[in-house]
Structure 1
Amino acid sequence: MLTTTLLVAALGAALPSQDAAAEAPGAVATLVLTGGRVVVVDEAGIEAEAIAVNGDRILQIGTVDEIAGLVGDDTRVIQLDGRLAIPGFIEGHGHFFGVGDAAMQLDLRQAASWDQIVAQVEAAAKELPKGSLIRGRGWHQEKWTKTPMDAVDGLPHHRTLSAVSPDHPVVLIHASGHASFANAAAMELCGINSETADPEGGEIVHDAEGKPLGAFRETATGLLRQAFLRARQPDPRRVARLAVGECLRKGVTSFQDLGAKFSELGVLRAMADAGDLDVRLWLALREPVEDLNENLPGAKVTGYGNHHLTVGGIKRSIDGALGSHGAWLLEPYADLATSSGLNTVTIEDVRACAEVAVQHGLQLCVHAIGDRANRETLNIFERAFGDDAARKGLRWRVEHAQHLHPDDVPRFGKLGVIAAMQGIHCTSDAPWVYRRLGADRAESGAYLWRDLLDTGAVVMNGTDAPVEDLDPIASYHASVTRRLSDGSTFFPEQSMTRMEALRSYTISNAYGAFEEDLKGSLEPGKLADIVILSKDILACPDDEILDAKIDATVVGGEVLYERK
């Protein structure tokens, strides 16, 4: 255990400047957490027994006795009683408004069969006025215990769904967000029939008679626009507040939103101005190139609202998802030999975004899941960097990087490209990855955390919420065990160590947004974003990690959530 004196010497001048109150002799803490295991998550591996906060910044860490000297009459003291205190979790890839919106529609994630989903829709149809849209999210055909009758590629026919909802358009979004399912009323409302052509980068799935099955892959979901307009538009502030509440309950103090809109930015700025944005947001905008060029000069913000809002990136999706056969592969799917997936935006569009990113000093964040999608993305990055060594410090990101050709793995570290991955996707997808890719491609290319780390690449972590639950504990557990719900493991040699997984959820995610000087570790002078856990996830047995609860979430020195 390092004393405070040694700790300050070890951290040194590399730390950001502390607030004046924290630097002044005799400074008094506003908040103290004491009597536990405080893990700094710094390069030196420093740990302590207590931590003191002054205002929104970390003042000092040290022993119980050392920190006791910083307690004043108005200091709030929380006894850790041996519990673990770590930096607040940073969600490295999610969809902020999607998290809030998911709470306002049918949750289909736990459905074990198509029949259960039909039953949920039937119940909703009895409650809602005729003509109103029924929305749902989270279904996944690979998680059902049986294949529906008349299925095509495992996807159900709309017949049973339409029978229970003849007076309501229904649109149900796939768990991945890269496919959707509609009933007859929705397709009729949108003018979709046997003659409707597939849009570029998308596919309407047809039954044996050539009629629309009800399933829409990738960009084909856009054909259902008229049905979506039937939905009652909720107050975006309410949606954002629902997302904030979910973050705080799950110990997420910062959230990186991959795919934000200019309209959402206005809402978030207003909330930050009002002091109503209780988590820190980093946004990557997903807008047309012409809109980016026109609006970015007035929209780019850094550390707005006391470090609660930053526009830091541009998002593009070059392919779809593996589960919906939308991931763009170098070779056809093992279980769908007629398809190698879908290229959802053109190479030219991504290259144009690369130019905009360089011009405005933003990171380019490209969704790439299949091995061809990843190769094409790395090629675009490499071309944009050229011979300019400084451009390799731009920290451009590949979002997901789920399936890689082995030849492309070393390119991440060589180019300085960040792999923004999601641990929970591995164990969630593993039961059907073999079917999609075959055994050889699954072993050599699927979710290669260890191989990427060993080549010097930075690997981030997250959940892609609402695709998966926002819970960082579940994604952390998947990262260190790669254990499935049935007890089996999916290539466990690719697992992270406990500390690597914690870094991937804290300081590595901060690095992935150029924010490592502000957050991601509990070093004096940094923002006081802290989580208290009921169990020590760095030391407890593997099978107890999932039992860990978020006991408290601290953002900017304020305790914004406490578990009862």
Structure 2
Amino acid sequence: MTVIPRGFHLPIAALIGTLALPSAAQAAVINPADAFFFGGPILTMDDAQPNVEAVAVDDGIIVGVGSRAELEADFLGPETQLHDLKGRTLIPGFVDAHSHFSFVGIQAIAANLLPPPDGPGSSIAELQAALREYLNSSSRAQDYGILIGFNYDDSQLLEQRHPTRQELDAVSTSLPIMAIHQSGHLGVYNSKALEVLGINADTANPEGGTIYREKDGVTPNGLLAENAHIGALLKLIPRFTPQQSIDMLMQAQDIYLANGFTTIQDGRTSPDTLQGLAQAAKAGYFKIDVVAYPDLVSNLQNPMLKGPLMSRDYADHFRIGGVKLTFDGSPQGKTAWFTHPYFQPPEHEDANYSGHPLFADEAEARRIMKQAYDHDWQVLVHANGDAAIDQLIRLTDAVQQDIPDTRDPRTVLIHGQYLRADQIPELVRLGIFPSLYPMHTFYWGDWHSSSVAGPELAKFISPTGTLHRAGIKFSIHSDAPVTFPSAMRILHSATNRVTRSGVILGPEERLDALTALKAMTIWPAYQHFEENSKGSIEKGKVADLVVLSQNPITLPREQLLELKVMETIKDGESVYRADAL
């Protein structure tokens, strides 16, 4: 067959006289396909047919999977577009198991405070410099009336602590400043921001939240955690114009597309954001599928939860897939809820500090969770510490007593960092699907070992290897914007579990590349009740595909981070192409 130049798509009609196709075979084609992929490894994620030579796509649906010769005879017609992979690898599109799509767009209007290798934030002085540079180089802070810094990480700062309000005051005292921790569960606010929020020495801690104090025990030092931070964030976040909101969503969509995602999740969606996502979808802005899981507490009275968008079917690439609850905080921020004390408790906490639940009133949590089950809404629960996971198990056991045995609630454990081995059989018994976060091994593995839980417990964070050996499906995710939604970083972290310092954290929990890819494709599709339409290259499924620069199965695990997404294809249409293609 004639060799087509790399990345060049050409109708067969243009190859008449050069393409070696028997005329009889060509005449036999009754239903020619729109597109035909061949010329490189094709990894289907379908155990019944894991590797094939070719794929035929018509009208956005996969219509043929198998040998090249057979599919050529069945599907090549005069207008079929040939996609010669030229040795590159074709896989299913990545399914985002958990992130915060709308908040990825907000990064575009914030100063980058991430630590290396993703940003400059190695010390408080560098955080201040990044904030000043953003303030001086962009009009956005003045336009919005607030300077936002995104994703500082105290565990990676030279000072090994959070900045204070006074250190943010050194950047500006006239403009409110909000520096958001990389976990998303904490934030530091300058004096002007605290003034706008009405937070002072007389302000009590909200339920499920903490206002940290100075040495006098009463004056706020600027650090707010959990519900105190979330409440402040919602009050101070700018009220964007419709066009500004769309622009941020489109920037976020471009990031996901460049990383090979064809389905993305917006977790813990606020009421305003839920409305904005629905409007963006109706206006035709989405190229890829967006599934939202609104925060149940703040959306309890939201009529959208009982409307047509709460569905297993997409409308204009958008649907509401269920709801989300949050049972604890962040282990790296030391707000996750454990059954044991932290290895090194945070400042101002005693030696017995083990975090705390966000639902101290478990009866209230059960009442809210039962409402979701009564409406047959899928429930995603953020639970990092083992005590929070115990709470999830107790409440799921209780509320599932009242539903028919024929119903599949498919409740999801989000993160599950400190999932204990004895809790795994309980997840299986209750049908709780684990969506784990092995990217922590790179970003915070050293911190988990030295400060959060100690070296022994840290080896078992996100125990994907144990789950796999037990025959349990699971997914892995980025939790973006907590970490950048890099599909290759997700893959590399799950297969290597190498920390920033080069330590392999829990080598027995490493995955092989194929299993990790399943946890990024077919298994998160199952998590979303979409396993019959997505997640693998099978006849009848939507043509959500990704072209990778090399074969992740044959590449040494240490080199997986070098993989590049060359092209992303949604519903059979190319929606992203790398410049080098």
How does the TM-score come out when normalised to structure 2?
A: 0.87
Q: CA deviation at 1:338?
A: 4.4
| Matching of residues 279-294 of structure 1 within 5 Å | 279-288=288-297, 291-292=300-301, 294=303
Say if 2:440 is the partner of 1:436. Answer: no
In structure 1, the partner of 2:8 is: none
Q: In 2 relative to 1, CA 123–31 (structure 1 residues): closer, same or farther, beyond 3 Å?
A: same
SS at match of 1:522: coil
Give aligned-pair identity as a percent.
28
In structure 1, the partner of 2:187 is: 180
The amino acid of 1:173's aligned partner reads I
Distance in structure 2 (CA, Å) of the matches to 1:190 and 1:107: 24
Q: CA deviation at 1:77?
A: 1.7
Moved more, 74-83 or 449-458: 449-458
Distance in structure 1 (CA, Å) of the matches to 2:81 and 2:355: 55
The amino acid of 1:137's aligned partner reads F
Moved more, 289-298 or 232-241: 289-298
Distance in structure 2 (CA, Å) of the matches to 1:226 and 1:379: 31
Distance in structure 2 (CA, Å) of the matches to 1:230 and 1:500: 42
Distance in structure 2 (CA, Å) of the matches to 1:458 and 1:182: 41
Match of 1:159 among 166, 182, 207: 166
Cα deviation per residue 1:105-131 (whole Å; 9 max; x = unaligned)?
112112111111101112233354399
In structure 2, the partner of 1:34 is: 38
Q: CA deviation at 1:261?
A: 3.4
Distance in structure 1 (CA, Å) of the matches to 2:393 and 2:493: 26
Assess if the C-alpha contact under 8 Å between 1:353 and 1:364 holds in 2. no
| Matching of residues 254-265 of structure 1 within 5 Å | 254-265=263-274
Q: CA deviation at 1:163?
A: 1.6
The amino acid of 2:221's aligned partner reads L
Distance in structure 2 (CA, Å) of the matches to 1:78 and 1:231: 45
Match of 1:55 among 54, 59, 83: 59
Assess if the C-alpha contact under 8 Å between 2:56 and 2:71 holds in 1. yes
Say if 2:282 is the partner of 1:273. Answer: yes
Say if 2:70 is the partner of 1:66. Answer: yes
Distance in structure 1 (CA, Å) of the matches to 2:171 and 2:568: 43
Match of 1:425 among 425, 440, 443: 440
Assess if the C-alpha contact under 8 Å between 2:547 and 2:568 holds in 1. yes
Cα deviation per residue 1:255-283 (whole Å; 9 max; x = unaligned)?
12221234434433343334321111222
Q: In 2 relative to 1, CA 133–233 (structure 1 residues): closer, same or farther, beyond 3 Å?
A: farther
Q: CA deviation at 1:416?
A: 1.5
Match of 1:135 among 148, 152, 159: 148
Distance in structure 2 (CA, Å) of the matches to 1:293 and 1:102: 27
Say if 2:350 is the partner of 1:343. Answer: no
The amino acid of 1:77's aligned partner reads L
Distance in structure 2 (CA, Å) of the matches to 1:391 and 1:448: 30
SS at match of 1:51: strand
Distance in structure 2 (CA, Å) of the matches to 1:77 and 1:267: 39
In structure 1, the partner of 2:109 is: 104
Assess if the C-alpha contact under 8 Å between 2:274 and 2:294 holds in 1. no
In structure 2, the partner of 1:7 is: none
Say if 2:536 is the partner of 1:521. Answer: yes
Q: CA deviation at 1:531?
A: 0.2
Distance in structure 2 (CA, Å) of the matches to 1:225 and 1:482: 33
How does the TM-score come out when normalised to structure 1?
A: 0.89
Moved more, 126-135 or 374-383: 126-135
| Matching of residues 107-506 of structure 1 within 5 Å | 107-109=112-114, 110=119, 111-127=121-137, 128=139, 129=142, 132-144=145-157, 146-147=158-159, 154-210=161-217, 211-222=219-230, 224=232, 228=236, 235-288=244-297, 291-292=300-301, 294-302=303-311, 304-305=313-314, 308-336=317-345, 337-345=351-359, 346-386=361-401, 390=405, 393-434=408-449, 435-443=451-459, 445-506=460-521
Cα deviation per residue 1:504-562 (whole Å; 9 max; x = unaligned)?
00010010011100000000110000000001111101222111110000000001111
Cα root mean square deviation, aligned: 2.3
Q: CA deviation at 1:390?
A: 2.4
Distance in structure 2 (CA, Å) of the matches to 1:291 and 1:213: 33
Distance in structure 2 (CA, Å) of the matches to 1:554 and 1:325: 40
Moved more, 65-74 or 55-64: 65-74
Distance in structure 2 (CA, Å) of the matches to 1:360 and 1:526: 29
Q: CA deviation at 1:199?
A: 1.1
Distance in structure 2 (CA, Å) of the matches to 1:32 and 1:528: 11
Say if 2:90 is the partner of 1:91. Answer: no
In structure 2, the partner of 1:13 is: none
Q: CA deviation at 1:299?
A: 4.6
SS at match of 2:373: helix
Distance in structure 2 (CA, Å) of the matches to 1:289 and 1:119: 36
Q: CA deviation at 1:489?
A: 0.7
Assess if the C-alpha contact under 8 Å between 2:444 and 2:499 holds in 1. no
Q: In 2 relative to 1, CA 244–223 (structure 1 residues): closer, same or farther, beyond 3 Å?
A: closer
Q: In 2 relative to 1, CA 295–349 (structure 1 residues): closer, same or farther, beyond 3 Å?
A: farther
Cα deviation per residue 1:238-266 (whole Å; 9 max; x = unaligned)?
22211211111110000122212344344
> 5+ residue gaps in structure 1?
1-23, 149-153
Q: In 2 relative to 1, CA 311–387 (structure 1 residues): closer, same or farther, beyond 3 Å?
A: closer
Q: In 2 relative to 1, CA 557–294 (structure 1 residues): closer, same or farther, beyond 3 Å?
A: closer
Over 6 Å off, 4+ runs = none
Distance in structure 2 (CA, Å) of the matches to 1:290 and 1:540: 45
Q: In 2 relative to 1, CA 106–542 (structure 1 residues): closer, same or farther, beyond 3 Å?
A: same
